[in-house]
Amino acid sequence: MERYDAAVIGAGPDGLIAAHRLASAGLKVLVLERHEFAGGRAISREFHPGFRASPYADELPAIPQDIFSQLDPPRHGAILMPAPASACLSDAGTTVLYADLARRARAAGPVGQALVGLQRDIDGAHKAMASRVRELAPDQPRSFLRPKLQRLPWPGEEWSGKPLADALAERLSDSAFKLHLAAHVLSGTAASPYLMGTALHVLKGHEGSGLPRGGLGTLAQALLHAARSAGAVVRLGADIASIRIDHGKVTGLVLTGGEEIQSRTVLSTLDLKRTFLGLIAWSDLPEAVQRRVTQFRMAGGRARVLFALDAPPEFVFAGAAPEAALGSVHMVTSLDALSRSHDSWRAGLLPDVLPVTLRVPSLLDPMLAPIGKAVMTATISGVPSTLVDGDWNKEKRTSLAKIAVAAAERAAPGVSGRMLAAAIITPREIETELGLTEGDFDGGDLSSDQALGFRPFPDWRDGRTPLRGVYLGGPSAAPSPFLLGTAGAHAATRLLADLKIRRAR
């Protein structure tokens, strides 16, 4: 039986980036993906004849420059196109944030410099996080004879002690721009800007990965090609039944068909609960691990509606700021509305109005739609995975479409008359298709006790877990969800260090 140095679970961005790093270091690496295609959340799909979109997100978090340079996605066919601006339509008015900082400062008036300063602070935190990914905690394993080790903080943890609303109020005096930033960083989530610790969402920043030509699936194919070029073996359609543990140490994996794969280490890019409660036998988990993993909080709150349009929408702000139509258009009335959406989410309710982010990716990439037509997406925030009054039946799915259409009509009057078809994606479908517990894109509630150095737990450092040879490099590991691929890269760096000293813990 063939034996690998490392088996990576999941061929999404984190898994492929981790595999590239491990294979580039000379390890024998196998990547296992249950779908017949790679990419995870980074895929493109035809949802209506001739119309294509990325079903789960229009963009992903930005890739750190050093990881981007190592993989070189453009060389493998992924040209990323950043949006030049975003817009927010609210009770406070219409605001536009430009990606170019000089233009942002000029267009935003009195708060322009404050907006630029905030973005530079976020960019600085991102650079520090990327640098931290290349570092490892001192290799001093805990034991009953050692005192508890001091936890090494992550850059950006200073944001964890404040509500998002307060953190923005400290930096910005304009209520419309405060709402714009809050709507942007909370898009697709379920979080109240008034709750302690939600200022961490600021670290999601304003700019994402950019839109690859052909959709996010193009980026996935580039990462797949890079991993294979480095020597990693990628098996698609390989569904994992369990991770084999013997006396607290990993020995390999078992596929659903019964095939056994031997591996010295396993790096999972699934979330914490999917990994430990779905793939590892309960009897193989120490009682303390069972308890902690069970208590880890998930907070999925995203639904998506994809629209095929007979013609591009005409946004109400397009005359004054045409570039904003190329980016995100946030539809939310107030900070209180964001808070109310969180309240209804906690209650398992689906109200008639929720925050919505619209995007027309075919304006940046005309290849996504037939000539003269358009693709528009709607990301709805605060949508519970489990409804208190029943399942996601046809009526509830129709309610999601109505929420999205109503928001689109406010932003672009008459757009409903251009709609040819719609595809609805509920949080439950995101959970089933992507293997994300409760459909949580962030891999766990983003709060002061579950972020950065506390993610998933303070003593699970650098992707290590209490099971020797099992590493966590997905959305529940630091520094997710702020930078794409960094959790996988960080866990891979730790794995390499452990193997180098002949101790895969």
User: Could you give all domains of the chain from N- to C-terminal order, each with its CATH number?
Assistant: 3-79+214-296+456-500 (3.50.50.60), 83-207+298-434 (3.90.660)
Q: Residue 144 pLDDT > 60, yes or no?
A: no
For range 100-112, the mean pLDDT = 93
β pairing state of 329-331 and 249-255: unpaired
pLDDT for res 2: 79
DSSP per-residue string spanning 85-132: EEEEEETTEEEEEESSHHHHHHHTGGGHHHHHHHHHHHHHHHHHHHHH
**CB atoms closer than 10 angstroms to residue 295:** 7
- Comparison of pLDDT for 296 and 501, the residue scoring more: 296
Which position has the token pair 């719609």?
A: 422
β pairing state of 374-381 and 302-309: antiparallel
Contact at 8 Å (CB) between 503 and 488? no
Residues 265-279 have pLDDT tens digits of 999 999 999 999 999
pLDDT for res 136: 84
Nearest by Cα to 301 from 202, 426, 395: 426
Residues 344-369 have pLDDT tens digits of 999 999 999 999 999 999 999 999 99
432 in helix, strand or coil? Answer: helix
Provide Rg for the chain, Cα atoms: 22
Report the chain's mean pLDDT, rounded to a whole number.
Answer: 93
DSSP per-residue string spanning 280-329: S-GGGS-HHHHHHHHHPPP-B-EEEEEEEESS----TTTTT-GGGGGS-E
Q: Residue 146 pLDDT > 50, yes or no?
A: no
Contact at 8 Å (CB) between 326 and 364? yes
Top-ranked range on mean pLDDT: pick from 74-83, 204-213, 424-433: 424-433
For range 134-147, the mean pLDDT = 58
For range 234-241, the mean pLDDT = 96
For range 70-91, the mean pLDDT = 91
Q: How many residues does the chain have?
A: 505
pLDDT for res 1: 65
Which position has the token pair 């930033």?
A: 181
pLDDT for res 502: 60
From the number of C-beta atoms within 10 Å of its C-beta (0-12, 13-18, 19+), residue 110 rates as: exposed
pLDDT for res 24: 96
pLDDT for res 501: 66
pLDDT for res 152: 73
**CB atoms closer than 10 angstroms to residue 347:** 12
Q: Quick one: pLDDT band at residue 376, thresholds 50, 70, 90?
A: very high
Q: Residue 184 pLDDT > 60, yes or no?
A: yes
The alpha carbon of 234 is separated from its chain's Cα centroid by a whole number of angstroms, namely 22
Q: Residue 504 pLDDT > 80, yes or no?
A: no
Which position has the token pair 């090494």?
A: 152
Task: Show the tokens assigned to 271.
Answer: 């979330």
In this prediction, what percent of the chain has a pLDDT beyond 90? 87
The residues with which 250 forms a beta bridge, in sequence order, are: 245
In this prediction, what percent of the chain has a pLDDT beyond 70? 96
Q: Residue 416 pLDDT > 80, yes or no?
A: yes
pLDDT for res 148: 52
Contact at 8 Å (CB) between 307 and 408? yes
Task: Show the tokens assigned to 405.
Answer: 């259409």
